[in-house]
Amino acid sequence: MQRKHNLSSLRRVLSILGEAKPVKRTAVLSALMVMLSGAAVRAEDAAQKFTQAEVDASPYLKSVVARQGTMADTSKFRKKGPYKIALAAQGPTNSWAALFDQEARHHVDQLGKDKVSELLYASADGSADKQVPEVEDLLSQNPDALILVPMGRAALAASVDRAAAQGVPVVLCASGVDGDSYVTEVGTNLYGLGVRMANWLSDQLGGSGNILVMDGIPGVDTAEIAKAGAATVWRNKPGIKILDEQYGQWSTSEAKKVAEQWIAKYGKSIQGIWSDGGQMSQGIIEAFQEAKLPVPPIASADYSNGLLRQVKDGHITFSAGQYPNAMVILCIDTALKILDGESVPRFIDFRNAMEKTQDVNTSNMDAFFNPKWSDDVFPPIFLPDSKMVELKYMKQ
């Protein structure tokens, strides 16, 4: 029955696509992309299982596992469009966030004014303190839905509660908050990401070797959760010896500085590296190359086009997850589903709902690397080439 339903839905979308005006086709294609890819779970995700002890030991993992299997009834939010959508974003503090904003604006433009009448936008400039009053201001404009990129799990919890009390459905995008007042969260299992990258590195070393670990920013959920996932692997791999573990602040320059200190102290005894971010991985590689040492196998929590350029040119063995800024497209589409009264999962993993978001490694990287993109682009990107050129993220 489910397969028949999927085929029927696919035929309807293809029919609409054939009849749609050009300006609307991106929106229809987005729906098709989610339908097709959402029907099949990534092979590496299907194989990734967690013990009950792991689930019980991690409140984050326990919450994600529970919410993935729970649908939110959104019938009370159903209303006629067009809709006024509020987006409380990180703000263009780096290239990842800048392209996040551009993907959001472009997607709303493609949806058209008959679907989204207005996109209310607020930049937090990366600050939870600034974001709290901005969310209050957005709510005062009576949006139909709020998409929130939380700058602090605890700091933004009350803002989400306030939105819920006002009857505004909240979609958390790229990060989470304490509490349970939101409708759904779009992201990925960060604990599982840490586990996957740690297992890959262990496998590269045959379960035995000296490694270095570079975490993101201390206290930030996205860093600490991936770190905790990797730590479960290290505990069960007695042959893996961690020479040192430090935070690299998700900064290329800081990571390079730390890596230079590592090289001076450990030199050729370094056999592998686990890094919680593409920017840091780039800095680590630079340090090894400038020291004229071979770069050991490196596991990276995400990747940029620049990292792919480095590993391709340097013939480096690597594997990386991804945390795409283009997930905002899925966040917007989810908000619209809620306003249509359609039930949605309480946790939506973009890896099961967006194309080109699987892990990348030495064998498949050519499908993701774009030599015309600048180094600070985080794939996948769904902006047209003309827009990327206009934004100076792509050569003509």
Q: Confirm if 214 and 280 have CB atoms less than 8 A apart.
A: yes
Question: Could you tell me if 85 and 176 lie in one domain?
Answer: yes
Question: Could you tell me if 308 and 330 lie in one domain?
Answer: no
Question: Could you tell me if 95 and 178 lie in one domain?
Answer: yes
Q: Confirm if 254 and 261 have CB atoms less than 8 A apart.
A: no
pLDDT of residue 45: 52
Q: Which two tokens stand for residue 16?
A: 């609409």
The three state secondary structure string of 307-351 is HHHHHHHHCCCEEECCCCCCHHHHHHHHHHHHHCCCCEECEEEHH
Question: Could you tell me if 103 and 225 lie in one domain?
Answer: no
Question: Could you tell me if 181 and 99 lie in one domain?
Answer: yes
Question: Could you tell me if 36 and 145 lie in one domain?
Answer: no
Is 384 a member of any domain?
Answer: no
Question: Could you tell me if 207 and 284 lie in one domain?
Answer: yes
Using CB atoms within 10 Å of the CB of residue 181, give its burial: 0 to 12 exposed, 13 to 18 middle, 19+ buried.
middle
Is 287 a member of any domain?
Answer: yes
For residue range 135-178, what is the model confidence (pLDDT) as tens digits? 999 999 999 999 999 998 899 999 999 999 999 999 999 988 99
Model confidence at 375: pLDDT above 60 = yes
User: CA 394, CA 375: separation in Å to the nearest integer?
Assistant: 10
Using CB atoms within 10 Å of the CB of residue 196, give its burial: 0 to 12 exposed, 13 to 18 middle, 19+ buried.
buried
Question: Could you tell me if 273 and 167 lie in one domain?
Answer: no
Q: Which residues pair with 210 in a beta bridge?
A: 241
Is 24 a member of any domain?
Answer: yes
Instruction: Please indicate, yes or no, whether the overall pTM of this predicted structure exceeds 0.85.
Output: no
Using CB atoms within 10 Å of the CB of residue 129, give its burial: 0 to 12 exposed, 13 to 18 middle, 19+ buried.
exposed
Question: Could you tell me if 100 and 23 lie in one domain?
Answer: no
Is 48 a member of any domain?
Answer: no
Is 75 a member of any domain?
Answer: yes
Q: Which two tokens stand for residue 363?
A: 């064998």
Question: Could you tell me if 293 and 345 lie in one domain?
Answer: no
Q: How confident is the model at residue 44 (pLDDT cuts 50, 70, 90)?
A: low
Is 47 a member of any domain?
Answer: no
Model confidence at 30: pLDDT above 50 = no
Looking at the structure of the chain, the number of domains it has is 3
Question: Could you tell me if 203 and 313 lie in one domain?
Answer: yes
Q: Confirm if 273 and 251 have CB atoms less than 8 A apart.
A: no
Mean residue pLDDT of the chain comes to 88
Is 98 a member of any domain?
Answer: yes
pLDDT of residue 94: 82
List CB contacts of 315: < 8 A, sequence separation 6 or more. none
Pure H helices in the chain:
2-19, 22-38, 43-46, 52-57, 59-68, 95-111, 128-140, 157-165, 190-204, 221-235, 252-266, 278-290, 305-314, 327-339, 385-390
For residue range 252-305, what is the model confidence (pLDDT) as tens digits? 899 999 999 999 999 999 999 999 999 899 999 999 999 999 999 999 999 999
Indicate which CATH number applies to the domain containing 166: 3.40.50.2300
**Range(s) of the domain holding residue 140:** 67-188+325-354
For residue range 103-135, what is the model confidence (pLDDT) as tens digits? 999 999 999 999 999 999 999 998 899 999 999
Cα maximum dimension of the chain: 65
Is 150 a member of any domain?
Answer: yes
